[in-house]
Chains A and B, each alone.
Chain A
Amino acid sequence: MDCAVALTTQAANMPVSEEPLLDVRDFSLRRGQAVVLDGVSLALQPGETLGLIGESGAGKSTLALALIGLLRAPEVQLEGSLRFRGTELTRLKEADYRRLRGNKIGLIFQDATAALNPCFTVGQQIAEPLKRHLGLSKWDRRERAAELMHSVGIPEPRLRLDAYPHELSGGMQQRVMIAIALACNPELLLADEPTSALDVTIQAQIMELILDRVRELNSSAIFVLHDLALGAQVCDRIAVMYAGQIVEEGPSERVLAAPLHPYTRGLKSCVVELGSRTLVPIPGQVPPLDAMPAGCRFAPRCPKAKAICGEQRPRAEIRDGRQVACWFID
């Protein structure tokens, strides 16, 4: 199957800058004894879109939340480095993080109904980052909020400014959240399953909207997704995560069209496509955080596992333009 048609080859055309916009190196996150993220490395160039893909519990959302500094509780320990535009995020003070969030880094949550405050109008909520980060006057904020609502395809924005979230449909609420996330023209947009609560026709509209706006602003985006086919359609690069590790990462047309890691292959064989005749589930379950296998974490479920897989963790190797962590790449 050829995925190339599905993708913009924007990444290939972009000149590689000196330093990536986001550089994650050997990043680990512990919560007490549990290793939630283990040695994650990836880099994102300006203008690129990256998809984090995997089953629940893989650490996709944890990585996104760690990036935006929402996992800074005392019991959470961070190791390794998270660099955003050259700034080390793991040691950033909370006050500095606040200047980043909603400003240089925007975030779209999965459940718009839960993420929006039911007690404030959507106009007030869109205006908040405009006040905090840009210091716009009250009148300017209202004008800009209406413009933003228009730009995310909300009809009659001036009337809707004074609407409360519950007065809008799920798709419209999601658009409001996109408007909030993009209010300050962020350089990086994080979107955690932005469309999984929506119908397919609305999903396509929202995804197209996010991509259009991200390209217009020349921002980068990280999508947390569970739908592989959607990942192929919207992401330049794909990182497949399993049990807190990245098992395969590279250009999405290669990773999804010809996966090298057995887990990526397994995931792909479970995807229901139109007219699928057979689905081959991956046997077993994701291991619990307190009982991670010593070697390769996927080994107990892997059809190709041999003795070494159970004993030693495979290092990520560069193969065919991507990083793959497996002892037996063929």
Chain B
Amino acid sequence: MQEPIFSLLDVERTYELRRPGWLNRAPRQLKALDGVRLDLQRGDTLALVGESGSGKSTLIRLMLGLEPASDGRVLYGQRDLAQLDAEEKKRFAREVAFIYQNARGSMNPRMRIADILAEPIRLHRLCAESAIAERLAALLDRVGLPAGLLQRFPSELSGGQIRRVAIARALAAEPQVIMADESVAGLDVSVQAQVLNLLRDLCRESGITLVFITHDLGVASYLCEKIAVLYLGRIVEQGPTDAILNTPRHPYTRALLQAFPRFDMPLKASLSGEIPSPVDLPKGCRFAGRCPEAQAACRESDPALTAFDAERQVACLFPVAGAQ
């Protein structure tokens, strides 16, 4: 087996909360991520799925090296992200691109599209200044935008166009890995379909490794071959997309699937309650409070992510049985 491009080894991320007024009081800790293990192979397309507060965005920030892990290690290739030297950091920045959730907010409103797209090319000295224009035109063509947009400002572009520019900027430095945070949320269905098709074609054609954050299991299943479901800072289930859709093994995954709006099924509120605060984590399984299958043992011992079968890992004491 080929060595993974990214490895997360029991990664933890805690934030200390300060309470005003009292001296000598032990600060409370918010555990955003708790013991995440994940291997990403070259060419994988992985969706991180979960509700708000599940730790998806924290996980991707750690994988981008924007934040250090409180415990555990994030490896890129064989190197720990926390120990990269300046040269390696620069290479990492070129090889791993990020598409922000708020595409418009991630661009300088006073820069023209041409300058926004040329910035990574110039920074990494990927081609001669004279060849940049040609390269920009090729980039826009690749994301299906007319070259005429190069002289425009971000505010002059529509929501769909700005997402395409964000994708083009991520592609500008010819990365090996693209990470994207909710890149199609809030778009009209027709534009969303265009952007999804574009991302899917790009990954298929160029073999880019994709890590895609979404709260939408439909989008995850369309774009990615693997899915990791997060709940309160932990991966509760991961495996191939089809297997997860057809036979979810974790009750939370099943609840997410049941709550997904479908033409051929009645509305079903599959879970009661809300995701609890990550500050005061319950003892035992952190999903037990909302889990329809919870038993006494679930409130006592905290299940680790273990192999369910050859491809699937589940963190549940009593995984959902049955073919469907």
User: Which chain A residues border B258 with CB–CB below 8 Å?
Assistant: 204
Checking B158, B189, B267, B271 against A226 with a beta-carbon cut-off of 8 angstroms, the contacting residue is B189
The answer on a CB contact under 8 Å between A204 and B190 is: no
B interface footprint on A1-23 (CB within 8 Å = 1, 0 otherwise): 11101110000000000000000
Tell me the complex Cα distance, A273–B218, Å.
5
B14 contacts the other chain (CB 8 A): no
A246 contacts the other chain (CB 8 A): no
The answer on a CB contact under 8 Å between B188 and A55 is: yes
A205 contacts the other chain (CB 8 A): yes
Tell me the complex Cα distance, A47–B265, Å.
22
B261 contacts the other chain (CB 8 A): yes
The answer on a CB contact under 8 Å between B221 and A275 is: yes
User: Which chain A residues border B197 with CB–CB below 8 Å?
Assistant: 279, 281
Q: How far is the CB of A43 from chain B (nearest CB, A)?
A: 25
Tell me the complex Cα distance, A150–B264, Å.
32
User: Which chain B residues border A274 with CB–CB below 8 Å?
Assistant: 217-218, 221, 245, 257, 260, 262
Tell me the complex Cα distance, A271–B263, Å.
10
B247 contacts the other chain (CB 8 A): no
Most interface-central of B255, B260, B261, B265 (chain A CB within 10 A): B261
User: Which chain A residues border B275 with CB–CB below 8 Å?
Assistant: 199
Q: Which of A70-78, A89-97, A228-236 contacts B (4 or more CB under 8 A)?
A: A228-236
The answer on a CB contact under 8 Å between A226 and B188 is: yes
Q: Which residue of B lies closest to A301 (CB)?
A: B190
| 8 A Cβ contacts from A20-66 to B | 55-56
Q: How far is the CB of A150 from chain B (nearest CB, A)?
A: 15
A203 contacts the other chain (CB 8 A): yes
Q: Which residue of A lies closest to B189 (CB)?
A: A270
User: Which chain B residues border A56 with CB–CB below 8 Å?
Assistant: 188
Residues of chain A at interface, number, CB under 8 A: 47
The answer on a CB contact under 8 Å between A233 and B188 is: no
A282 contacts the other chain (CB 8 A): yes
B191 contacts the other chain (CB 8 A): yes
If A228-B189, A279-B197, A281-B194 touch, whether A5 touches B270 (CB-CB below 8 Å) is: no
The answer on a CB contact under 8 Å between B221 and A233 is: no
Q: How far is the CB of A168 from chain B (nearest CB, A)?
A: 10
The answer on a CB contact under 8 Å between B245 and A233 is: no
User: Which chain B residues border A169 with CB–CB below 8 Å?
Assistant: 274
B285 contacts the other chain (CB 8 A): no
The answer on a CB contact under 8 Å between B222 and A270 is: no
| 8 A Cβ contacts from A200-223 to B | 200-205, 207-208, 211
Checking A267, A273, A279, A281 against B263 with a beta-carbon cut-off of 8 angstroms, the contacting residue is A273
A80 contacts the other chain (CB 8 A): no
B196 contacts the other chain (CB 8 A): yes
The answer on a CB contact under 8 Å between B264 and A201 is: no
Tell me the complex Cα distance, A275–B264, Å.
14
Tell me the complex Cα distance, A285–B191, Å.
9
B99 contacts the other chain (CB 8 A): no
The answer on a CB contact under 8 Å between B189 and A267 is: yes
If A201-B270, A279-B193 touch, whether A1 touches B264 (CB-CB below 8 Å) is: yes
Q: How far is the CB of B188 from chain A (nearest CB, A)?
A: 4
B interface footprint on A285-313 (CB within 8 Å = 1, 0 otherwise): 10000000000000000000000000000
Tell me the complex Cα distance, A201–B271, Å.
6
B301 contacts the other chain (CB 8 A): no
B242 contacts the other chain (CB 8 A): yes
Tell me the complex Cα distance, A282–B218, Å.
19
A128 contacts the other chain (CB 8 A): no
B256 contacts the other chain (CB 8 A): yes
A111 contacts the other chain (CB 8 A): no
A147 contacts the other chain (CB 8 A): no
B73 contacts the other chain (CB 8 A): no
User: Which chain B residues border A7 with CB–CB below 8 Å?
Assistant: 266
| 8 A Cβ contacts from B179-196 to A | 188-194, 196
If A273-B218, A274-B218 touch, whether A205 touches B272 (CB-CB below 8 Å) is: yes
User: Which chain A residues border B271 with CB–CB below 8 Å?
Assistant: 201, 204-205
Tell me the complex Cα distance, A202–B260, Å.
11
The answer on a CB contact under 8 Å between A204 and B196 is: no
B interface footprint on A239-280 (CB within 8 Å = 1, 0 otherwise): 000000000000000001100000000110111111110011
Tell me the complex Cα distance, A1–B269, Å.
22
Q: How far is the CB of B93 from chain A (nearest CB, A)?
A: 32
The answer on a CB contact under 8 Å between A5 and B245 is: no
Q: How far is the CB of B316 from chain A (nearest CB, A)?
A: 17
B13 contacts the other chain (CB 8 A): no
The answer on a CB contact under 8 Å between A201 and B52 is: no
Q: How far is the CB of B63 from chain A (nearest CB, A)?
A: 22
The answer on a CB contact under 8 Å between B189 and A271 is: yes
User: Which chain A residues border B191 with CB–CB below 8 Å?
Assistant: 281
B268 contacts the other chain (CB 8 A): yes
User: Which chain B residues border A227 with CB–CB below 8 Å?
Assistant: 261
Q: How far is the CB of A127 from chain B (nearest CB, A)?
A: 25
User: Which chain B residues border A208 with CB–CB below 8 Å?
Assistant: 267-269
| 8 A Cβ contacts from B225-277 to A | 242, 245, 255-272, 274-275
Q: How far is the CB of A52 from chain B (nearest CB, A)?
A: 14
Given pairs A5-B265, A201-B269, 14 additional interface contacts (CB within 8 A)? A6-B266, A199-B51, A200-B256, A201-B255, A201-B256, A204-B269, A228-B189, A228-B263, A272-B189, A272-B218, A273-B263, A274-B260, A276-B218, A279-B222
Which 8 A-B pairs have CB atoms at the shortest separation, nearest pair first?
A229-B261, A272-B218, A270-B193, A199-B51, A279-B193, A230-B261, A281-B193, A233-B267
17 example contacts (A-B, Cβ-Cβ < 8 A) are as follows A6-B264, A200-B217, A201-B269, A202-B51, A204-B259, A204-B269, A207-B267, A208-B268, A226-B189, A228-B263, A229-B261, A232-B262, A233-B267, A270-B192, A272-B193, A273-B263, A281-B193
